[in-house]
């Protein structure tokens, strides 16, 4: 069986105590923290996978997410540069 790929929008914001919080508003309760942007993204992917597997197990429908044909993404990220 072919693997399915799902696309869900997430938001990432810095936490006051350090690290980052990733949230998927489309899937209720999907939140994850990480020490870095990358770790927060990896952690939210894991949370989303578990969420999808649970919905499939209980035959709950997944919310539909529509993606525009063209998407302009603008990111503002801190870039560490050591000298």
66 domain-assigned: no
Q: Do residues 55 and 61 touch, judged by C-beta distance below 8 A?
A: yes
DSSP lists the bridge partners of residue 20 as: 14, 34
Number of domains in the chain: 1
- Do the domain assignments include residue 65? no
Tokens of 21: 């919080």
According to DSSP, the β-strands at 20-24 and 11-14 are antiparallel
The residue among 30, 21, 33, 40 whose CA lies nearest residue 62 is: 30
Q: What is the mean pLDDT of each run of 10 residues along the chain (83 residues)?
A: 80 94 94 95 96 95 78 69 77
Domain that holds residue 30: 11-57
The answer, as to whether pTM is greater than 0.85, is no
User: Is residue 19 domain-resident?
Assistant: yes
Please indicate, yes or no, if residue 39 is contained in any of the structural domains: yes
Give the DSSP letter of residue 27: S
């Amino acid at each position: 069986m072919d693997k399915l790929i799902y696309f869900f929008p997430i938001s990432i914001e810095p936490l006051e105590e350090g690290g980052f919080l990733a949230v998927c508003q489309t899937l209720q309760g999907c939140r994850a923290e990480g020490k870095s942007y990358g770790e927060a993204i990896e952690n939210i992917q894991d949370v989303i996978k578990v969420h999808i597997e649970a919905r499939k197990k209980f035959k709950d429908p997944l919310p539909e997410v529509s993606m525009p044909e063209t998407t302009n993404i603008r990111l503002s990220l801190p870039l560490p540069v050591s000298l």
